Structure 1
Amino acid sequence: MSEIRIVQEHSLNPEQARAAAQQVAQRIAAEYGLDCKWDGDVLRFGRSGVEGDLSLEGQRAALRIRLGVFMGVFAPAIEAKVTDKMRKVFAPA
């Protein structure tokens, strides 16, 4: 099982950070067919072979994705796409 961890610092207020997290989730959910659900300040997502969460912790967003054997082959491409999206949506205004 492969694991991807991305931490993105930001200066957004809690509402803006949640909206940014939702943008990231919608993008990866659409692209990889994931189900997403908020659990407090943690957005959990998954499907067969993929699971993870996006936590909002003060001025940082921490993303963790665990990929099964088949999806692990795509880990570098997934990490690059998600890192880019997080940088864009959590960037300072």
Structure 2
Amino acid sequence: MATVEITREHSLGKDAAKERAQLMADKLAAKLDAKCTWQDDELSFQRSGVDGKIRVGDDNVHVAVKLGMMLTPMAGMVKGEIEKALNKYLV
């Protein structure tokens, strides 16, 4: 099992960053058929072989994704896609 973790700083404020995280989650849900739920400032998402969380802070966003055995070889690609999404949504 592989874990991909990325922390990105932002200057959006927590509420705006949560809105942007929701946009990322909507795209993720559509693309991967993932189930997404919020609890306070943390968005959890799941689908077969993937378990992740997006934690939104006042000045940063932390993404942690655990990949199952079958998806472990794709960890580099997953990390690249997360970084692209963070660059797009946290500008």
TM-score normalised by length of structure 1: 0.91
Would you identify which runs of 4 or more consecutive aligned residues in structure 1 move more than 6 Å?
none
Gaps of 5+ in 1: none
| d(CA) in 2 for partners of 1:8, 1:47 | 24
**Alignment gaps of 5+ in structure 2:** none
Give the whole-Å Cα distance in 2 for the aligned partners of 1:4 and 1:31. Answer: 19
Letter in 1 for 2:2: S
Matches within 5 A, 1:13-92: 13-91=13-91
2:46–2:52 contact (8 Å) kept in structure 1: yes
**CA drift at 1:14:** 2.1
Question: What letter is aligned with 1:47?
Answer: R
Q: CA offsets per residue over residues 6-27 of structure 1, 9 Å max, x none?
A: 1110001222111111111122
TM-score between the two structures when normalised by the length of structure 2: 0.93
Report the Cα offset of residue 36 of structure 1.
Answer: 0.2
Q: Could you tell me which residue of structure 2 aligns to residue 2 of structure 1?
A: 2
For residues 42 and 22 of structure 2, the distance between their equivalents in structure 1, rounded to whole angstroms, comes to 11
Q: Number of residue pairs matched?
A: 91
